[in-house]
Chain A
């Protein structure tokens, strides 16, 4: 090892801090019995220490931090999405099976003829938990309840004191007995107290007594069934819920592997597939319309501005790219106010010109029109800047030759300008298509994907695109989350994005660029 100069000490110190944190997480993961993640963490710790302590891994020292971030926050989430799409993860199926079983087994019921206990409560100060003394109503046996545990005691136990000599125990280890009024004051606390007694549980019944509650369910691991101890009915796991022969299901459910069910649901269940298909088609229409309108207007303005003799070109350029400089979330919200159907300026102007007002935001068709207009406003400056660059690279000779041949202005545009600009900007137009395909902000901030599609079982709106649809499936308040179905839709977006980009890479030779790096 090299001499210990300052740089080395710093490196070792940083590595030590990292290792300390990593080992700490490893311990927590071990306690949580999360072994798969623990294994990944241990491998990660080893790799990172190796890279920074070995002298053979020079380039990796630079690349590793970025790689870790990329793997954790891009690659892993993408792969995890694939996994989720094959599960029923979502509301009602958040827990894993082990957790769900222990939740179900923690459900108790009160038998028709429960054992009951009179109780007295004892208290030392505000901090310590109450101590309870139980007396079995049938045989008079005494039990001491401390911190959730029951212990049988005899009357002569030295902890139980009768300081007043009236035959009643009024102190336990310095805890004073509570009068009835104090018990009423503490009733909320006492109600929450649970004591386990054999396989049963003691809970407060009324101000004088506790009763024994029995577990309602028992899990039979060998046969993988949940048995209802009251009726001996058996519940078998079906799609993440324990279900009996009559189809009754226990809560909570658990997450489980579903195979292709989510994908199948998208295609075959008409309540899901019909709105999904509408969302799917509109996503393509939206992306295509966005590219065509922004490119059309952008190119048109670029041609107007592409004139050296024109005055004020610089000023025009700055003013025209202003919409592009404002964060989209702000301008979309401004437009949302302007398109407000009752009080927005757009409808007020229409009425002033003697036209009737339009149900923007309430009618699917008109909301789509408004969205395309808003996105035109947002997106044309980018296309204009690109087109201006492309126009400048077209040689003037081409136009001179065309003029000599008697070509009209339209013909010059149609046969020289447009094809050359399209070739130059083709890849960027495809990228813009892919971007708008996933343009969540404009769609969601403008109207949250609404108006709703009538009769849809999933929260699908008339202006929802696939990405906003997955968001609503996962996080829309009030509906419950269906992460599994959302992930299946995301997979579809993956494949479409991948296909579009593959085509684009072929077009631009980006892959060749990688090969050149050999």
Chain B
């Protein structure tokens, strides 16, 4: 815009933005302050604690009743394996859709588009009953096991991720593969040696988006897991504060800080892609 902007208006602009930044930062700083405040209570907490203490953080790693460290490890473990598996499955699935012409291709694409419309959590009852029944055959992947959650997450994101991945693979020029084919490369070699390395950026982005999504997922983990030492951070933290908030505020805040930092870092790494990714995917991060 080439409109003339008076100085007072520039100042007002900055003032409004700083006001908004204060709105953004307030809850974060508030929790950060509480996490270092030994009082561990909501009552009368000042923004700047009178003395800094790590006692809340110590509690995180020593509490027998509420094993935060275990929850955090569970969450990271589940999200890592689920994202890795999901990327592997979607890369394999997207490749033929991008490169070959085969019977059922169009219907397959249509199915993918259709299925990714419905969030997996809508079927939480059915998924719960599914694993309840699986339990009678394979107790190792039944209710209250991590594999059940991992498998659920892997299956849930295939639709949207395949769609994204195929879109990216479509942009890789075919001439490279043609050259490799003439040089005698087999089908799988072309996929493994050419397409896969060239798709690295999108692989990374999908991995990170999937990791953040799995890490933040609540309801399916809540339905599938029930013993304290197997919960994810999302489920564990909610149960922890739902019981008694006032007296646990400090410890909760410390857990919130530790739980949020890895995700903030990951998010900042891929923020541009997340927006473009969602532009084509049509989803919104939860």
Contact = CB atoms under 8 A, between A and B. Distances in A.
B174 to A, nearest CB: 15
A405 B37 CA distance: 60
B159 A321 contact: no
Contacts of B8: none
Interface string B204-222: 0000000010011011001
A483 B158 contact: no
Contacts of B92: 62-63, 65-66
B7 to A, nearest CB: 12
A486 B123 CA distance: 10
A334 B253 contact: yes
A63 B124 CA distance: 25
A324 B151 CA distance: 27
Contacts of B120: 73-74, 77
Contacts of B105: 59, 517
B130 A80 contact: yes
Contact of A327 (B151, B215, B222, B284): B215
A335 to B, nearest CB: 6
A286 to B, nearest CB: 15
Nearest to A315: B21
Given A322-B24, A323-B24, A501 B156 contact: no
A32 B271 contact: no
A304 B253 CA distance: 33
A440 B158 contact: no
Interface stretch (A121-129, A268-276, A351-359, A382-390): A382-390
A131 B87 CA distance: 60
Contact of A514 (B2, B109, B283): B109
B43 A343 contact: yes
Nearest to B212: A327
A37 B137 CA distance: 12
B286 A441 contact: yes
Interface string B22-52: 0111011011000000000111110000000
With a 10 A CB-CB cut-off, give which of A343, A344, A471 has the most chain B CB atoms. A343
A304 to B, nearest CB: 5
Interface stretch (A157-165, A209-217, A229-237, A427-435): A427-435
Contacts of B156: 73-74
Given A81-B126, A84-B126, A327-B234, A431 B159 contact: no
Contact of A320 (B21, B127, B152, B212): B21
A343 B246 contact: yes
A423 interface: no
Contacts of B201: none
Interface in B235-279: 237-238, 241-242, 245-246, 249, 252-253, 256, 259-260, 263-264, 267-268, 271, 275, 278-279
Interface stretch (A45-53, A107-115, A132-140, A491-499): A491-499
A360 interface: no
B166 to A, nearest CB: 9
A66 B222 CA distance: 25
Nearest to B235: A329
A219 B241 CA distance: 50
Contacts of A66: 89-90, 92-93, 158, 162
B184 interface: no
Contact of B159 (A70, A297, A514): A70
A467 B122 contact: yes
B95 A62 contact: yes
Contact of B123 (A74, A297, A431): A74
- Interface pairs A-B: 10 shortest CB-CB: A73-B155, A77-B123, A66-B93, A59-B96, A77-B126, A325-B267, A80-B126, A69-B155, A343-B42, A327-B216
Given A403-B3, A438-B119, A508-B282, 8 more contacts: A76-B130, A78-B126, A333-B238, A343-B41, A399-B1, A440-B219, A471-B223, A515-B106
Interface of B: 1-3, 5, 10, 13-14, 16-17, 20-21, 23-25, 27-28, 30-31, 41-45, 89-90, 92-93, 95-97, 100, 102, 105-106, 108-110, 112-113, 115, 117-130, 133, 136-138, 151-152, 154-156, 158-159, 162, 187-188, 191, 212, 215-216, 218-219, 222-223, 233-234, 237-238, 241-242, 245-246, 249, 252-253, 256, 259-260, 263-264, 267-268, 271, 275, 278-279, 282-286
